[in-house]
Structure 1
Amino acid sequence: MNGLTSLSLLAASPVLEFLGISPAIFVLVLVAFVFLALSFTTIAPDLVLIASVVILLATGVLEPSKALAGLSNEGMVTVAILFVVGAGIRETGGVDWIAIRLFGRPKTVFSAVTRLMLPTMGLSAFLNNTPLVAMLIPAVTDLSRTQRIAASKLMIPLSYAAILGGTCTLIGTSTNLVVQGLLIDAKGIESKLGLFDIAWVGVPAAIIGGIYVIFAACYLLPDRSAAISTQDDPKEYTVEMQVAPDSPLAGKSIEDAGLRHLPGLYLAEIDREGSSIVAVSPQEVLREGDRLLFVGVVESVVELQRIRGLVPATDDVFKLKAPRPQRCLIEAVVSNTCPFVGKTIRESRFRNHYNAVVVAVARNGERLHQKIGDIVLTAGDVLLVEAHPSFAEQQRGSRDFFLVSKIDQSSPPRHELALFTVALLVAMVLLVSFDVVSMLVGGLVVAATMLITRCLSIEGARRSVDWEVLLAIAAAFALGQALEVTGADKMIADHATSLAGDSPWMSLVMIYLVTLLVTELITNNAAAALMFPFAMATADKLGVSYLPFVIAVMMAASAGFATPIGYQTNLMVYGPGGYKFSDYLKVGLPLDFLIAGVTCVIAPLVFPFK
């Protein structure tokens, strides 16, 4: 950005002209305030970032077309599409298939983070980070819920593992490919780096960084668990499930089937061929036809309904008119005028009367031990019924029930489509990683296929999009635009690199740190494109090899850990992990400097200055 452009910007902004403030300085001050607001207040990140965009528009620093460009940015639209893809995998039960095979059933935070990071880093070295994290977020959410480990302990490690793994190969992240392209343009095709050239630096950085993240997750990340227990909810439901014929659970123990790990749920009894097994051992092996009597809170009952191979013990569920994927769970409180008070659920012929099936019953904290069909209804009983969503509307004004409310995201999954959705996702990741299609096109095709094949409903697709994250991403792009158009980014780079003097090593450190700073403020690819010319010019000025500087730009532009806006995957896990901006600073800033140290020490050894 030259002086003439800066003056024209100042003239175009009456407010800044009146105050006599340089647009670049104004933007840097605004960015500082944004960071402070995100770090030390509880204001939602999207509100803080949108407020900064409003200020940039009001002061004339950005034109509306540039300020709003983030709303049509391909990266933001891609994240929105990936929310839909993730929902499709979750709604078919594909998440369980992925989670069990990748993560198993760890019992501690340490083992969970370790099991999470190793496969993620390995996959990320060869696959695009963004779709990989999009694929794993639902699986990690499921792991968090079933193993009673706070999502806040797992989501940042997921993002960091993907970032660290991406630094190990040339194709691990798009940033490396951007720098590779710039290098070929500057020095010719003979300067092209090999697939594993960066691995000399990336692998040690991933190993050291991974060890740090595992311990940081245990001791530095917050425990914001929304743990479910029977004490949290006075409604303790009794629910009866059956091991279906050809169920994958048959032949597994209670422990191996994952039926001991649903929070707030207790397996009270197994009915096997007319005989009851009480005080069920975790090593008890399940058989086809076993009827399992559980007691627990509504969230765990919903999760129980999603386990492949378990079905409600009543055959009435399969006689309802609406297909199962179109149904949901609805809570209904029995009134004293209900005609079925004093009758058992079986005698009441509930399905025939309401076109709904009772799958669980709660009674004022009392633990019910009867089978569902044998429970005698009393006024005040809370019934969990499976029905078409229209049941809630039809019965809301009925005298038969005091209260009727739908349970969100409680539709039974279409398990028969689980492997189909996983195959779609794997195909998308591979095609995108090998540049056959763009991430946006691949995501659109997969999302459309899921909707067409009824893996996901239109309503579910709409509900899956996290608008807070999308607005934050769009506003972050606008801040990046402001840094670029005012020349604030180049101002930072010029001043920082001039401090290094004639020392190649100090110059390498400064190039790395400035690239890292720009990455945290704008985006990884923009930082790489901005800092590459500075890196090459610094090497030419000092008369040394450009390779250590190129490696430093690759690593620094990819390894942005200290802010959620520094790397796209950091923003993707912000909401699911329930994080605050300060969480990234606390865990990510030491990691930033750790990777900086590893890179600046190893790069000159592997790629000598002379």
Structure 2
Amino acid sequence: MNMVLSPDAIQTLAVIVFCFGLLVFSRYPADAILVGGVGLLTLLDIITAEEALIGMSNEGMATVAMLFVVARGLAQTGVVGWVSTNLLGRPKSTEVAQLRLMLPVAAMSTVLNNTPVVAMMVPAVSDWAKRLNLNVSQLMIPLSYAAIVGGTCTLVGSSTNLVINGMLMEGHPEVGLSMFDLAWVGIPCVVVVIIFTLVFSRWLLPHRGEKESQVFGDARQYIVEMEVEVNSPLVGKSIEDAGLRQLPGMYLIEIDRADQLITAVSPNEILVGGDHLIFAGDVRSVVDLKNIHGLKIAEKQVFKLSSGAHARCLVEVVVSRGFPQLGKSIRDMRFRNVYGAAIIAVARDGERIKTKIGDIFPKPGDTFLLETHDRFVSQQRYSKNFLLVSEIENSQPVRHEQRNIAAAIMVLMVISVALGLLTMFKAAIVAAGLMIVTRCITVQDARQSVNWQVVLVIAASIGLGGAMEKTGAALVIANIMINATAQSPTGTLIGLFVLTAGFSAMISNLAAAVLIFPIAVAASQQLGVDVVPFAVTVMIAASACFATPIGYQTNLMVYGPGNYRFADFLKIGLPLTLLVGITTILIVPLVWAF
């Protein structure tokens, strides 16, 4: 067999090494680097335009794109908030939070495709981290790793396991694996991954992201009054249990209950229907507060707005000296009638305005937080009455009444895949379509929900992997490494693991496994030993995609939300891959003897 790299193979490897160098040592975005690499291979005539673009028609890439729509639908209907509050709880430390996250995710991924599990959990974890003031960058990689390693425990946990088992049974029908055979090595790997993450993540994972240490006295500090609805699920809960105690950037000042004013509110205070809760906080926290199920803005003018609730958004305006209503109180200025908007909060030079909103007399420079229709910004952008008009991003109301529908769509999607009724791609398309048809998400929000950076990274990675296969670079490297250890079964297992994990870091894990499996079979025949331990090693190694974000699509799904850089995966992923490799090499020969 030819062991010499062709000129095209050498150029392909040089481009890939160059791309990896840029990913690790530069701050250029991953999609720009990888798309540039594919473009360079096209210019060198190593791959054709069709081969360069093949990733754009890849089923896995399209599946991820559809799952972004499903995830946004879950977020906008309150399913995500429910999951983050009820499933993940309120841990007191990052380590406990990681454990509370990784255990259920790993368990779900043993029987469910890990892609929808991560799609559902990414927005829930973002919300959870924000509520508990945790570093989201300490949670997103553990989420992906738990999903990946959970899939190694059963035959259906990963599509790679199913494909390799199918290839194994084609040549050796008598030695196919059963559903839980992989648990012998998968469960110890889960334990290793969770323990390693809990112990070392504080040093190996970055401390960046959405953790905010809010200081009272923000220049845009609003006072907002919320009302506990009579039939609210919050009624009968304490402030602590309702999740209103430690809202990031938000402080509960007092409760107005009938004729009683409760100041210095205790976390054990029980909420009653009709309570008016007065909060101080920044604008993003007002948005979060407004989306809590069971709370509504106490300002009655909001409910007189002509536009439907789901066509509204929050807008900030700064009052100019030409504002015609100066000298009048907010109650007397008939703001809703004139502008079609309701003032729900006022900020003034960082002061805490203790007066009720209706009694405030506006001054030039005051900032109003408005609930209004989505056309307000375009209509008032150049008005002389306001110095600034700015819509608050993602401030549309949560569609709590659609929550059960969205949850049912998600459950049906997962069940249809688990039972083999639909492929993951078909199920994701149906789920995304149902989210739109049932009005869990608008068409415009569905368009905006797709993270095109992740989509381009997946597509470009597929193009690079195809170049390695086409030029023969992958096969030459594989044979060199296998032949170097061919005289020892254990040495061959080590070589197989290193080779498969290495290729999985550069091309898709499924492509790496399919590429290496025939070489594993040839090595077992040459050594005259059973092929099963070699096949199992390839399965586990293909899923040990911890060291790069491009090797496994769940890593790509957490890349943006976790605010990660390429090197962050290398730092924690390389030692973790080594530990999973050692665990695999130690256990596989004990369970499946040579």
Q: Under TM normalisation by the shorter chain, which class is it?
A: over 0.9
Structure 1 partner of 2:500 = 515
Task: Find out whether 1:143 has 2:128 as its counterpart.
Answer: yes
Number of matched residues?
593
Cα offset, 1:546, TM superposition: 1.2
Cα offset, 1:92, TM superposition: 1.1
Moved more, 582-591 or 91-100: 91-100
Contact 2:318 2:367 in 1 (8 A): yes
Moved more, 209-218 or 162-171: 209-218
Q: Which amino acid aligns with 1:208?
A: V
In structure 1, how many angstroms separate the alpha carbons of the residues matched to 2:489 and 2:426?
43
Structure 1 partner of 2:460 = 475
In structure 1, how many angstroms separate the alpha carbons of the residues matched to 2:323 and 2:259?
32
Contact 1:302 1:410 in 2 (8 A): yes
Quick one: structure 1 residues 115 and 271, their matched pair in 2 at CA, closer, same or farther if it must change by over 3 Å? same
Structure 2 partner of 1:219 = 203
Cα offset, 1:318, TM superposition: 1.7
In structure 2, how many angstroms separate the alpha carbons of the residues matched to 1:215 and 1:434?
37
The one of 566, 571, 581 equivalent to 1:581 is 566
Task: Find out whether 1:270 has 2:255 as its counterpart.
Answer: yes
The one of 282, 302, 324 equivalent to 2:287 is 302
Task: Find out whether 1:559 has 2:544 as its counterpart.
Answer: yes
Task: Find out whether 1:193 has 2:177 as its counterpart.
Answer: yes
Q: Deviations over 1:66-109 (max 9, x none)?
A: 00111111111111111111111111111111112221122321
The one of 72, 79, 88 equivalent to 1:103 is 88
Could you say what secondary structure the match of 2:331 adopts? helix
Cα offset, 1:502, TM superposition: 1.3
Cα offset, 1:230, TM superposition: 3.7
The one of 91, 114, 120 equivalent to 2:76 is 91
Structure 1 partner of 2:319 = 334
In structure 2, how many angstroms separate the alpha carbons of the residues matched to 1:525 and 1:334?
58
Structure 2 partner of 1:203 = 187
Structure 2 partner of 1:255 = 240
Contact 1:164 1:210 in 2 (8 A): no
Q: Which amino acid aligns with 1:596?
A: G
Cα offset, 1:232, TM superposition: 8.6
Q: Which runs of 5+ in 2 are unaligned?
A: none
Structure 1 partner of 2:396 = 411
Q: Deviations over 1:273-303 (max 9, x none)?
A: 0221111111111110000111111110110
In structure 2, how many angstroms separate the alpha carbons of the residues matched to 1:271 and 1:358?
20
Structure 1 partner of 2:53 = 68
Could you say what secondary structure the match of 2:397 adopts? coil
Structure 2 partner of 1:238 = 223
Structure 2 partner of 1:10 = none
Cα offset, 1:233, TM superposition: 4.1
Could you say what secondary structure the match of 2:96 adopts? helix
TM-score of the two chains, using structure 1 as the length reference? 0.95
Task: Find out whether 1:399 has 2:387 as its counterpart.
Answer: no
Cα offset, 1:397, TM superposition: 2.0
Task: Find out whether 1:503 has 2:488 as its counterpart.
Answer: yes
Quick one: structure 1 residues 231 and 31, their matched pair in 2 at CA, closer, same or farther if it must change by over 3 Å? farther
Q: Deviations over 1:443-498 (max 9, x none)?
A: 11111111112111122112111111111111111100110000111011100001
Moved over 3 A (4+): 1-4, 230-233
Contact 2:175 2:532 in 1 (8 A): no
Task: Find out whether 1:374 has 2:359 as its counterpart.
Answer: yes
Q: Which amino acid aligns with 2:196?
A: Y
Cα offset, 1:385, TM superposition: 0.4
Contact 1:325 1:414 in 2 (8 A): yes
Cα offset, 1:433, TM superposition: 2.4
Could you say what secondary structure the match of 1:103 adopts? coil
Quick one: structure 1 residues 351 and 572, their matched pair in 2 at CA, closer, same or farther if it must change by over 3 Å? same
Cα offset, 1:342, TM superposition: 2.5
In structure 2, how many angstroms separate the alpha carbons of the residues matched to 1:228 and 1:407?
21
Could you say what secondary structure the match of 2:332 adopts? helix
Q: Which amino acid aligns with 1:367?
A: R
Q: Which amino acid aligns with 2:138?
A: K
Structure 2 partner of 1:485 = 470
Q: Which runs of 5+ in 1 are unaligned?
A: 7-20
In structure 1, how many angstroms separate the alpha carbons of the residues matched to 2:425 and 2:303?
39
Task: Find out whether 1:541 has 2:535 as its counterpart.
Answer: no
Cα offset, 1:370, TM superposition: 2.2
Cα offset, 1:214, TM superposition: 2.0
Q: Deviations over 1:18-49 (max 9, x none)?
A: xxx71112111221111111011111111110
Q: Sequence identity of aligned pairs in percent?
A: 49
Structure 2 partner of 1:11 = none
In structure 2, how many angstroms separate the alpha carbons of the residues matched to 1:516 and 1:203?
19
The one of 433, 439, 442 equivalent to 1:454 is 439
Q: Which amino acid aligns with 1:467?
A: W
Cα offset, 1:2, TM superposition: 6.5
In structure 2, how many angstroms separate the alpha carbons of the residues matched to 1:112 and 1:83?
24
Q: Which amino acid aligns with 2:155?
A: L
TM-score of the two chains, using structure 2 as the length reference? 0.98
In structure 1, how many angstroms separate the alpha carbons of the residues matched to 2:331 and 2:232?
26
In structure 1, how many angstroms separate the alpha carbons of the residues matched to 2:242 and 2:86?
13
In structure 2, how many angstroms separate the alpha carbons of the residues matched to 1:269 and 1:100?
24
Cα offset, 1:54, TM superposition: 1.2
Contact 1:113 1:217 in 2 (8 A): no
In structure 2, how many angstroms separate the alpha carbons of the residues matched to 1:76 and 1:372?
50
Quick one: structure 1 residues 232 and 605, their matched pair in 2 at CA, closer, same or farther if it must change by over 3 Å? farther
In structure 1, how many angstroms separate the alpha carbons of the residues matched to 2:591 and 2:356?
70
In structure 2, how many angstroms separate the alpha carbons of the residues matched to 1:119 and 1:3?
46
Contact 1:230 1:297 in 2 (8 A): no
In structure 1, how many angstroms separate the alpha carbons of the residues matched to 2:130 and 2:147?
22
Q: Deviations over 1:304-335 (max 9, x none)?
A: 11100010002221221111111000001112
The one of 8, 11, 14 equivalent to 1:29 is 14
In structure 2, how many angstroms separate the alpha carbons of the residues matched to 1:566 and 1:22?
26
